[in-house]
Amino acid sequence: MIKNKAFQVLTTFNPGEVKDFELYLLSPYYNTNKSVVKLFGEIKKALLANKSEKLTEEFLYGKIFKGKEYNYGIMKNLMSELFKQAEKFLIINLNNNTIKETEQQILLLEELERRGLDDNFNQVFTKTRDRIKAGKINSSYYQNLGRLYETAKDYHRNRSNVNEYSLNVLNVVEHTFPQIISMLADEYALQYTAEHSTNHKPETDLLKEFFTNINIEAFTRVVENSSIENKEDILIRLHFIVMVTGSNDEVYYKLRDVVFMNTELYSNQMLYTIINNYLLLYAEKRASEGSGEFFAEKFHLLKKMFDVVKMNRDGVGCIFLSSYLDTVLSGIKLGETDYVSRFAEEYRKDVDPSVRDVAYRLARAYIFAAEKNYEASLKELARTDQADFHIKLRTKFLYLRCCYELSLFEQGFSMIDSFKKFLADTKELHPDFRKKLNDSCKTYLELFKISSSPEKYDIEKLDKQIDFVKASGINNKGWYLGKLEELRKKY
């Protein structure tokens, strides 16, 4: 097998890139060495036939220079030239695929201005500006308009047109400001998420200090009373900053209503970003603080998001496993089992393919358990891949619940023993989380003991266990307490 830099690069090409690279080499503008074309032609045959491992430089030399004795120096130079051409192709191909239409037009405008092609410049500028403004607001909307007007500003300055120059200066400022506000709001959302999910906080919180020192609420009122372009969108960003910095529920509801009244302003990707990074972020924060109102609000917000956002297309990726299951579990807790049953089926196709089957099986298991069809729930759990650590935890606890409801005490005791061993052996658990899981195991163990041997317990022991659960930090505490109260009534 050939071992050199050119061959390493070429083996990474997909069939489309192989075809495009051949066209590139055949173009005299890029390449005039016919031997390089022949060399790649032979390599291409092997690549497409999956026989590249059998190639040797001697074999390729014989195909290019038929009847001639192998010359190491000539072959080395040919391979070196092929490598240089492959690298140039990668750059050109990357530019063609990644530079978007607006960026290409801005580059074209700069070149037209440099060449003094004024009529062409004005036509391209007007066409590009109108196309951007006719589109929906996306992540690059303000940046593109700002850069476009920046190009026009430079054009008129170089032609000493003071009036047009000044107008375009104002246009640059008008579109740079909402871009800055959007960037700050997005970064604040990302920073907030990082702080609350991984407890990573900046040594000096410049964003928080910035917003604190400019009186963001007073500034928001100024914008509200203005008639600036894209006012509603700018207010959405400002309301989010006010909401998060001050934990203001009233502003949240105001922001939510404004967002859903203006969904037509945004691209699919931007709409998802605003709902997910702004509204859901705040609702999740308030729900985690114990607000029942915002637990329900978070679920209804998820429903609205899935109604207005096209998942897995138009710039929006797959549904995360956590979001899919969170929607199902929240709906079950709120008694909307019919909705989550439809949701699990309808949105199954939009879940990350690597965990799609796991998500669907586990969702069905939860739904069956909510419908008290515990046998069906256990069947789904048996078919659920448990490779992921968090999925293992979910399936084990749901398995225990089903065993308890079906009075499968022996299976329950066996599962608890293996679960306790799993918790003891797993090193990736934070001490606080390990304690919470061990407390959950202890509670399940007591439930199984009481139900299987009620003669060994009395009211005093039951009350002691109830107090333990109330004082613990275990999840789904309500279910445990409900089952203990049922047992208490029997005594």
- Residue that is last in its domain, among 267, 287, 317: 317
* Alpha carbon distance 357, 274 (integer Å): 29
395 domain-assigned: no
Cα Rg, the chain, nearest whole Å: 32
Residues 162 and 221 in one domain: no
Residue 199 has pLDDT above 60, yes or no: no
Residues 213 and 309 in one domain: yes
Helices 292-308, 321-333: crossing angle, 10 deg rounding = 130
Q: In this structure, what token pair is assigned to residue 280?
A: 């859901």
Query: What's the whole-model pTM score?
Result: 0.68
Residues 153 and 124 in one domain: yes
Please answer whether residues 331 and 301 qualify as being in contact, where contact means their C-beta atoms are separated by less than 8 angstroms.
no
324 domain-assigned: no
Share of the chain above pLDDT 90, in %: 34
Q: In this structure, what token pair is assigned to residue 220?
A: 């928001």
Query: Residue 488's pLDDT is what?
Result: 81
400 domain-assigned: no
Residue 51 has pLDDT above 80, yes or no: no
Q: Which residue has the higher pLDDT, 447 or 55?
A: 447
Query: Residue 70's pLDDT is what?
Result: 87
Residues 218 and 136 in one domain: no
What secondary structure does DSSP assign to 24-37, as a single string? HHH-TTT---HHHH
* Alpha carbon distance 356, 320 (integer Å): 9
Residue 201 has pLDDT above 80, yes or no: no
Residue 222 has pLDDT above 70, yes or no: yes
Q: Which residue has the higher pLDDT, 49 or 153?
A: 153
170 domain-assigned: yes
| CA dihedral over 34, 40, 43, 45, signed as positive or negative | negative
Q: In this structure, what token pair is assigned to residue 238?
A: 């400002």
Query: Residue 197's pLDDT is what?
Result: 58
**Domain tally, the chain:** 4
Query: Residue 491's pLDDT is what?
Result: 67
* Alpha carbon distance 437, 443 (integer Å): 10
| CA dihedral over 268, 269, 270, 276, signed as positive or negative | positive
Query: Residue 476's pLDDT is what?
Result: 78
Supply φ then ψ for residue 109, to 5 degrees. -60, -40
Residues 223 and 129 in one domain: no
Q: Which residue has the higher pLDDT, 50 or 152?
A: 152
- What range does the domain containing 148 cover? 101-175
Buried/exposed 262-277: b ≥16 CB within 10 Å, e otherwise = bbebbbbbbbbbbbbb
| CA dihedral over 389, 394, 397, 398, signed as positive or negative | negative
Residues 154 and 227 in one domain: no
Q: What's the burial of 475, exposed, middle or buried (CB within 10 Å: 0-12/13-18/19+)?
A: middle
Name the residue among 169, 179, 96, 113 with its Cα closest to residue 144: 179
Residue 1: pLDDT band with limits 50, 70, 90: low
Residue 192 has pLDDT above 90, yes or no: no
Q: Which residue has the higher pLDDT, 276 or 389?
A: 276
Q: In this structure, what token pair is assigned to residue 433?
A: 């989380």
Buried/exposed 41-70: b ≥16 CB within 10 Å, e otherwise = ebbbebbeeeebeebebeebbeebbeeeee
- Residue that is last in its domain, among 175, 196, 211: 175
Residue 278 has pLDDT above 60, yes or no: yes
Report the pLDDT averaged over residues 267-278.
Answer: 89
Name the residue among 323, 321, 242 with its Cα closest to residue 276: 323
Residue 258: pLDDT band with limits 50, 70, 90: confident
325 domain-assigned: no
Give the contacts of 91 (CB within 8 A, at least 6 positions apart): none
Angle formed at CA 107 by CA 104 and CA 112, multiple of 5 degrees = 120
Residue 196 has pLDDT above 70, yes or no: no
H helix runs in 49-117, sequence order = 57-64, 72-98, 101-114
Residues 186 and 311 in one domain: yes
- Residue that is last in its domain, among 175, 190, 209: 175
353 domain-assigned: no
Q: Is 80 left (phi over 0), alpha (psi -120 to 50) or beta?
A: alpha
Helices 281-288, 231-246: crossing angle, 10 deg rounding = 20
Please answer whether residues 297 and 260 qualify as being in contact, where contact means their C-beta atoms are separated by less than 8 angstroms.
no
Query: Rounded to the nearest 10 degrees, how much is the dihedral formed by the CA atoms of 177, 183, 189, 193?
Result: -160
Residues 221 and 311 in one domain: yes
Please answer whether residues 60 and 10 qualify as being in contact, where contact means their C-beta atoms are separated by less than 8 angstroms.
no
471 domain-assigned: yes
H helix runs in 214-349, sequence order = 216-224, 231-246, 249-261, 268-274, 281-288, 292-308, 321-333, 337-346
288 domain-assigned: yes
Report the pLDDT averaged over residues 310-334.
Answer: 91
Residues 39 and 156 in one domain: no
Residues 93 and 109 in one domain: no
Name which of 74-83, 420-429, 432-441, 461-470 the model is least confident about. 420-429
Buried/exposed 359-383: b ≥16 CB within 10 Å, e otherwise = bbbbbbbbbbbbeeebebbbebbee
Query: Residue 26's pLDDT is what?
Result: 93
Residues 429 and 480 in one domain: yes
Helices 459-471, 431-452: crossing angle, 10 deg rounding = 160
- In the chain the first and final C-alpha atoms are separated, in Å, by 79
Residues 218 and 119 in one domain: no
Residues 84-132 have pLDDT tens digits of 999 999 988 887 776 678 888 988 999 999 888 999 999 999 999 999 9
Report the pLDDT averaged over residues 24-46.
Answer: 91
What is each CA distance from 281 to 192, 196, 342, 375, in whole angstroms? Answer: 9, 10, 25, 36
Query: Residue 10's pLDDT is what?
Result: 87
Query: Residue 230's pLDDT is what?
Result: 84
Mean residue pLDDT across the chain: 87
Query: Residue 285's pLDDT is what?
Result: 83
